[in-house]
Amino acid sequence: MPDPNGFLRYDRRLPARRPVPVRISDWREVYPPAGEELIREQATRCMDCGIPFCHDGCPLGNRIPDWNDLVRTGNWDAAVDSLHATNNFPEFTGRLCPAPCEAACVLGLGGQQPVTIKQVEVEIADAAVARDGLRPRPASVSTGRSVAVVGSGPAGLAAAQQLARAGHTVTVYERDDAIGGLLRYGIPDFKLEKQHIDKRLAQLTAEGVRFRTGVDVGVDVTAEQLRAEHDAVLLACGALQGRDTPETPGRALRGVHQAMAHLVAANRVVAAAGDGKPAPATLPDGTPIDAAGKHVVIIGGGDTAADCLGVAHRQGAAGVHQLDLYPEPPTERDAARDPWPTWPWVLRNYPAHEEGGERVFAVAVQEFVDDGTGQVRAVRIAEVTVEKVDGRRIVTALPGSEREIPADLVLLAIGFEGTEEQPLLAQFGVTRNGRGAIDSGPDWQATDGVFVAGDMHRGASLIVWAIAEGRAAAAAIHTYLGGVGDLPAPVDPARQPLAPR
Ligand SMILES: Cc1cc2nc3c(=O)[nH]c(=O)nc-3n(C[C@H](O)[C@H](O)[C@H](O)COP(=O)(O)OP(=O)(O)OC[C@H]3O[C@@H](n4cnc5c(N)ncnc54)[C@H](O)[C@@H]3O)c2cc1C
Ligand code: SF4
C-alpha cells in the first residue's frame, strides 16, 4: 500500500545538475545519477491516487504508480519488469521525454508539484543495466516470417524489438552509417550519451535483429526488392524535412544553415573523438560549421534550438542569441487556456539556457545581413505580434522596432515539414499528406503490407510517441502475419495528446 502522505512529507527534488563551467567543458550528460536514497524518497511522493491520469498523459501507458511503489519499497527487479512491460527503451525516455505524465499528475490538481516520474524512470532503467546488463529475451520459436524495418530511430527500433521477440525475422535498414535515428546524430551527448543506444543495440542483436547501415532504401535497394525479400515492411523514416525561410533576404549567405546541419556535424565530432579519430566539424561537403569564437544566432524556440544552444556553448561561441517568434510564455500553467491534466504552454528552461546566451521573444528576422563578401555578419530583426486568422498565422512587424544583432553563424531551428520527399515514397506507392506525413488505416497500413509509424506518420513529435507507435505498428504487423496471440498496442493511429474539449 503506497504512502498516502509521502507528498506531504517530501518536496519535489531533482538531482543537482553538474556545475555549468564543468559541464560545458565536455560533452557528458548534464545530470549525474540521482542516488537510491533520493529516488526512493521521490517515489514515495506518489500516493497511488486511484485514477492515475499520468497513465493517460504517457502515450505508452507506463504503469507509473506501480513502479513508484516498487521503488519506494526497494523492489528494483520488479520495478524494472513493470517498466519494461510498456516501454522498450526507458533509458531514452527517462533522459529525454518532456514528461507529459508529470503535467497530468494528480498532485498538480491541489497545487502541489508533480512526482518526478521521469527521474524515477531513468533510475529504474539504469538500475536494470547495472544489474544484468539488459538481458536479451530472444523468441523461443521462429514464425518463419520476415519483416523489413526502414529507419532506425526509436519507432523502428521499438517495432523491431517487439517483432523479433514474437519470433519474426527482422532486418532494420538505415541509410546513416550508425543506428539510432535522431538519437544518434541529432540529439547531443550532453542529453543522451551514445553508450545507452549501443547497449540496447547489443540486446536487440542478441535477440536476432539484423542491422544494415549505409542502405538508402529507394536508392541502394528498391521497394520491389524489399517486398520480394520480406513478408511485411514498416516505414519509420522520421520527419526530417527541415522548415526553411527562402523568402528572407540573405538566406543564401554563407554562415546561414539548418540547425540539423550544425547538430549532426557536432555529434559526428564527438563520436569520432570517442573512436580516437579527432576531426573538425564540417558539412558533408567539407565546409566547416563550428560555433567556436563566433556570434551565433539561433532561430526557434524548441528542443532543436536548445540543443544548438548547448552545442554552441561547448564549442566556445563568443555569444549566442536565441530568437523566438512568440511572446515569452508564463511561468505557471494558465488554467483557463490549458486546464490540468493537459500539456501547458509555459516557459521551458532547458539546462542549455542555464549555461548562457540571451533569449529574445516576439521577434522575427527581416534580413540576414551581408558583410560584403557573401558571408552573414548580422541579422536584422523586428518586434512582432502573431495571430491566427482562419487557421493561418499572421505575423505583423511593429514599425520602427528594427535592430541588428551581430551574427557569424545563423542556425534555423524553425521546425520540420514532415517526412522527406524521397524515391522510396513513390516506389512504395505512398504520398505525403498536407502536413508532410504518411497516412495509415486503423491497422497502421499505408498500403498493402506496408506499415508506417513514428514521426513519418504523425509528423515531428517526441520519442515517447515514436516508441508507442512502433509498438502499436508491430502489434498490427504481427496480426497481419498471422502471429499467435496479441502484442501490446498502446495507441491507435488517431490517438492525440490530452487536450481540452
Ligand atoms: C535536435 C532534436 C532534438 C530532439 N530532442 C528531443 C527530446 O529531447 N525529447 C523528445 O522526446 N524528442 C526529441 N526530439 C524528437 C525525436 O527525436 C523524434 O520525435 C524521434 O526521434 C522520432 O523517431 P522516429 O523513429 O520516428 O524517426 P527518426 O528518429 O527521425 O529516425 C528516422 C530514421 O530513418 C532513416 N531513414 C530515412 N529515410 C531512409 C531511407 N530511405 N532508407 C533508410 N533509412 C532511412 C533516417 O536516416 C533516420 O535514421 C528531438 C528532435 C530533434 C530534431
Ligand atoms: S515515457 Fe515520458 S510520459 Fe511516459 S512515464 Fe516516462 S517521462 Fe512520463
How do beta strands 210-213 and 169-174 pair?
A: parallel
Q: Is the per-residue pLDDT at 343 higher than 80?
A: yes
What are the cell numbers at 304? Answer: 532543436
DSSP state of 251: T
Burial 244-282 (b: 16+ CB within 10 A, else e): eeeebebbebebbbbbbbbbbbbbbbbbeeeeeeeeebe
Q: Mind listing the pLDDT tens digit for each residue in 304-324?
A: 999 999 999 999 999 999 999
Mutation test of ligand 2: which of 105, 464, 469, 498 has the most ligand atoms closer than 8 Å to its C-beta?
464
Give percent of the chain above pLDDT 70.
100
Which ligand does the CA of 61 lie closest to? 2
Alpha-helical segments (H) within 338-454: 351-354, 423-428
The 10s digit of each residue's pLDDT in 260-285 is 999 999 999 999 999 899 899 999 99
Q: How many CB atoms lie within 10 A of CB 407?
A: 27
What spacing in Å lies between the alpha carbon of 93 and ligand 2's midpoint?
A: 6
Tell me what the mean pLDDT of segment 109-116 comes to. Answer: 92
Which residues surround ligand 1 with Cβ inside 6 Å? 96-97, 150-156, 173-176, 181-182, 186-187, 191, 216-218, 236-238, 240, 263, 303-304, 307, 422, 424, 454-456, 461-464, 466
> What residues contact residue 341 under an 8 Å CB cut-off, 6+ apart?
53, 56, 57, 103, 104, 105, 108, 498
pTM: 0.98
Identify the residue whose C-alpha is closest to ligand 1 atom 35: 151
Grid coordinates given for 146: 520476415
Environment class of 237 (CB within 10 Å of its CB; exposed 0-12, middle 13-18, buried 19+): buried
Mean residue pLDDT across the chain: 96
Please name the helix (run of DSSP H) or strand (run of DSSP E) that holds residue 411, with its range, or none. Answer: strand 409-412
pLDDT in the model for residue 94 = 98
The pLDDT of residue 391 is: 86
Can the peptide bond before residue 341 be classed as cis, meaning omega within 30 degrees of 0?
Answer: yes
DSSP string, 163-217: HHHTT-EEEEEESSSSS-THHHHTS-TTTS-THHHHHHHHHHHHTT-EEEES--B
Does position 419 have pLDDT exceeding 80, yes or no?
A: yes
Mapped onto helix, strand or coil, the DSSP state of residue 72 is helix
Instruction: Say yes or no: CB of residue 93 within 6 Å of ligand 2.
Output: yes
Give the mean pLDDT of 44-59: 94
Q: How confident is the model at residue 476 (pLDDT cuts 50, 70, 90)?
A: very high
pLDDT for 70-91, tens place per residue?
999 999 999 999 999 999 999 9
What is the distance between the alpha carbons of residues 366 and 248, in angstroms, rounded to a whole number? 6
